[in-house]
Amino acid sequence: MSRHPPQPLRCVAALIVDDDGRIFFQRRSPQRRLFPNTWDIAGGHVEPGETLIEALYREVREETGWTVSHILAEVGDYTYTGDDGIARLETDYLVRVDGDLTRPQLEAGKHTEFRWLGADELAVLDESREVNDGLIRRIADNGFAVLRALGL
């Protein structure tokens, strides 16, 4: 009797871009069960009945207080396994937002700091390089490649 593995959990995430062409990153708090104390982008799990885009808008609002104003491009799909052993399929989007970009409203208890990074400032993300073979750095590199391709 064969058992099919469960479908991966669906996730979405936003590479939020500012007017200087930098991308927003936030550090997960040390108390987080999944990937504690690592750099990340805004995003999370898609709720039942929610589309990917609805989840994207909700997660950005919950994690930053900002509102997605434009989806510039889809950056890609990424599969990874959390340190809880659960497989995830994440779709990432390059977005612009409305709000005070100097003052994100980080979710209390979930994120401890934030940075806006340019394409030449990504070495800081290598602090998280042991997590899924440096996935966050690869996502960032891909996001900047899409930005360049769009001429932004």
CATH of the domain at 112: 3.90.79.10
Residue at 2 is within a domain: no
Residue at 4 is within a domain: no
Cα-trace Rg, the chain: 15
Residue at 3 is within a domain: no
Residue at 1 is within a domain: no
CB 129 within 8 A of CB 80: no
Number of domains into which the chain is organized: 1
Residue at 20 is within a domain: yes
Residue at 117 is within a domain: yes
> Is the pTM value of this prediction over 0.75?
yes
* Residue-by-residue pLDDT tens, the chain, 152 positions: 445 556 889 999 999 999 999 999 999 999 998 889 999 999 999 999 999 999 999 999 999 999 999 999 999 999 998 888 899 999 999 999 999 999 999 988 999 999 999 999 999 998 877 777 789 999 999 999 999 999 98
